[in-house]
A and B are shown apart, each in its own frame.
Chain A
C-alpha cells in the first residue's frame, strides 16, 4: 500500500527562540531549522512499514517555503521514495494545511497518511485531525503503536490516563506521539542517493485550494519572566523557606 507522510520545516527544537522587538512574531532570521521531531517519527514509522513489506511506496509531502526542500531531501534520505512540495511563502493555518493535504490525498490516494501529533513552533495539534475530518477517514491520534492487518489498522494511543487501542478502517490518518519509535539517522550514501529521487513542486492555486484564514495574530510577546530565585544551603533551610516564606507546605 501507499503511505503518505507530511513533514514540516520548523525552528530546531534546541533553539531558544526570541520574540521580535516589534512584537510581530518570533525572530527566525539566521536560526537553525530542522524537520519537526514528530514528523521525523512519522517518516521513521513509514520506513519501518516498508521494511516489513506492508508499505510499497512512501510519498513525503511538505507545505511551506522553497527551503522546505531540505526537509523533504532529509525524508528521502531516510527512506521515502518521492517528495511533493506545495510551495507557499505565507504562514498557513492548520486548516489551510489540512485542505492542501486533502488535495494531495485525493491526487495520490494513499491507504495510510502519517503526520506528527503537533509542530513544535505553533503547538497547535490540529492538522491530522482536520485532514481526517475533511477526507472522512478515521483518525488514530497520539499513536505509540501502529499495526496494519488487512484492511484495518490498530492504533494504540497515548491518552491522559494511560493507553487506548482503536481499530480504524483503511484508508486512515495516524498522528505520531514521541514513543512510537526512535528515528534513524540518514547515512551519507543515502543522503547522496536522495538528491536523485524525484521532488515535485505544486502550488495551492494549482491544487485549487483557498488558504484564506479566519485567525489573525495581533501580537507575539515574550512570556512574563519569573523573578530570580535564591539558592538555599541545606534541606532544613529549604523546608523553613517553604513553610514560612512561600507558605506552600
Chain B
C-alpha cells in the first residue's frame, strides 16, 4: 500500500494542513509519497522531504501548475495516482477544488473531510453540519479522500529525509487561466492553526467594534474569527468566517462573543477543547455548548477580560 498526499502550498511555503494530512496517511499505514505540483516550488519540495514519515517527494514543476488550477493539476494527480492505493489532500479550498476532479477522472467516489481513520478502507466523517457522524467504507481500488485538519494532530515537520524526484508530466487543459488574487493581510496567527480563537458575531454591532476583539486577541496571541452574521453585515472579510460554510477550527480555547450559536456556526467550532460564551441573552443556544458562559454586555466584559488576562 502506497499513499499519495497532495501538498498544499503557495510555491514558497508548505502549508501546515499538509502535516495533518500526512498524519491521516500514517494512520492508514504504508509508504507515504508527497506530490508538490507548482512552479518554482523547490523550497516546498525540500520542506516536504523533511516531514517525518514521508518516503518520497514528487516535484512537478510547470507553469501550468503555478496557480493550482484544478483543470491542470487534477489530470496530473489522476495520472500519478493510478499507482497508489490512496490519494489524500487537506480539506482546504484547494483540496476541495482539486480532489473531486481527480476522483471523477479515476471513476471512483470520494470521501470528503474525514475526521478519523478506522481502517485502510473505513473512515468517519461528519454530515448534516456535524450533527451526525457517518462511518463510510470504500471498495474503490483507489481511495480518494480529503482530510479535515482539525481531526488529526500534525506530524513533525522535521526528522524525515525523503528523496525528491522530478516529475516531467505536463498537463495544460487550456480551459482556464489565473487572473488575479487578493489576500487578506493579517499579523495574527492563522485561524485554522491558532491555539486560541476569539470570534465575534452580530452582537458586535459594527466593524469598528471588532477592535475590542483584536485587542483581546493580541494579548492572548489568538486569531480572530467571526460568525456568518458578522461577515454578511460587512463587519469583517469572509475569510474570517467560522462554520459549516467557512472554516473549521478546533483550538484549545474558543471565545464566542455576541454569537447566538446557530447550527451552522457550531459546525465550525464545537470540537474546540474549551468554549467560552459571552452573550447578554442567557437563552442563546451557544450556552448549551459552552464550558464557561458569562451573561453580560460584551462591551463591558471584553475590555475587562482584556485587562485581566
* Chain B 214-254 interface residues, beta-carbon cutoff 8 Å to A: 220, 228, 231-232, 237-239, 244-245, 247, 252-253
* Chain B 268-285 interface residues, beta-carbon cutoff 8 Å to A: 270, 273-276, 282
Distance, CA A129 to CA B295, complexed state (A): 44
What range describes how many residues of B lie at the interface?
Answer: 35 or more
Cβ distance A168 to chain B, nearest Cβ, rounded Å: 5
**Among A61-69, A195-203, A222-230, which stretch is in contact with chain B?**
A222-230
- A188 at interface (Cβ–Cβ under 8 A)? no
Q: Which residue of B lies closest to A161 (CB)?
A: B183
Distance, CA A158 to CA B136, complexed state (A): 29
- B299 at interface (Cβ–Cβ under 8 A)? no
- A217 at interface (Cβ–Cβ under 8 A)? yes
Chain A 145-176: CB-based contact to B (< 8 A → 1; otherwise 0): 00000000010011111111111110010000
Considering only CB atoms and an 8 Å cut-off, how many residues of chain A contact the other chain?
A: 79
* Chain A 102-153 interface residues, beta-carbon cutoff 8 Å to B: 117-118, 120-134, 136-139, 141-142, 144
Q: Which residue of B lies closest to A128 (CB)?
A: B100
A215 touches B111 (CB 8 A): yes
Distance, CA A216 to CA B245, complexed state (A): 25
A133 touches B74 (CB 8 A): yes
Distance, CA A95 to CA B105, complexed state (A): 10
Cβ distance A42 to chain B, nearest Cβ, rounded Å: 14
**Among A10-18, A46-54, A72-80, which stretch is in contact with chain B?**
A10-18
Cβ distance A210 to chain B, nearest Cβ, rounded Å: 10
- B1 at interface (Cβ–Cβ under 8 A)? no
Chain A 209-249: CB-based contact to B (< 8 A → 1; otherwise 0): 00001111111111100100111101110110110001011
Q: Which residue of B lies closest to A224 (CB)?
A: B133
Cβ distance A167 to chain B, nearest Cβ, rounded Å: 5
A232 touches B181 (CB 8 A): no
Given the complex, which residues of B lie within 8 Å of A236, measured CB to CB? Answer: 308
Distance, CA A232 to CA B112, complexed state (A): 39
Given the complex, which residues of B lie within 8 Å of A45, measured CB to CB? Answer: none
A167 touches B290 (CB 8 A): no
Given the complex, which residues of B lie within 8 Å of A55, measured CB to CB? Answer: none
A248 touches B308 (CB 8 A): no
Nearest first, the 7 A-B pairs at minimum CB distance are: A129-B100, A133-B104, A138-B175, A130-B104, A214-B140, A126-B100, A138-B176
- What residues make up the interface of A, taking CB atoms closer than 8 Å to B? 11, 13-14, 16-17, 19, 26, 93-95, 98, 117-118, 120-134, 136-139, 141-142, 144, 154, 157-169, 172, 177-179, 213-223, 226, 229-232, 234-236, 238-239, 241-242, 246, 248-249
- What residues make up the interface of B, taking CB atoms closer than 8 Å to A? 67, 69-71, 74, 92-94, 96-105, 107-113, 122, 126-140, 173-184, 192, 196, 220, 228, 231-232, 237-239, 244-245, 247, 252-253, 263-264, 270, 273-276, 282, 287, 289-296, 301, 304-305, 308-309
Instruction: Contacts A164-B181, A215-B139, A221-B132 known; list 5 others, CB within 8 Å.
Output: A216-B136, A220-B134, A229-B287, A232-B294, A238-B292
